[in-house]
Amino acid sequence: MPRNDPDIAEIGLFGAPRGLLEHRVRLAVCVLLVRHDAISFSRLKQALEENDGSLGAHLRKLEDAGLLAVEKSYRDRRPVTWYQLTGAGRKELNEHIANLKRLIEQVE
């Protein structure tokens, strides 16, 4: 049976992959931050049930890409690190979600 590859334009409808947000933890961080002004490291750790090292690595990747802003402060003489989604982070998240929606529509 002869096979034909689909037209590349049809495949391209899904948009470019958003590799940085394909990991569930990084996507979840951005989704949480789009709903809240800022969230502390400890609250993200609690919400996502991640260990310090794993969460820290994911947050650093998002920060290095310019998707997160980080602010260090003190509360009751203890250091607290706050994370906030940047404008670029919001844009990246919105594009990623739009691409996921287009992909899901192809299955329905």
What does the pLDDT average to over 28-39?
A: 96
The string of pLDDT tens digits covering residues 70-103 is 999 999 999 999 999 999 999 999 999 998 888 8
Could you tell me which CATH number the domain at 19-105 has? 1.10.10.10
- Do the beta carbons of residue 50 and residue 42 sit within 8 Å? no
Domain boundaries, the chain: 19-105
Residue type, 4: N
Could you give the CA distance from residue 67 to residue 60 in angstroms, rounded to a whole number? 10
pTM exceeds 0.85, yes or no: no
**Sequence-ordered strand ranges (E) for the chain:** 39-40, 68-75, 78-85
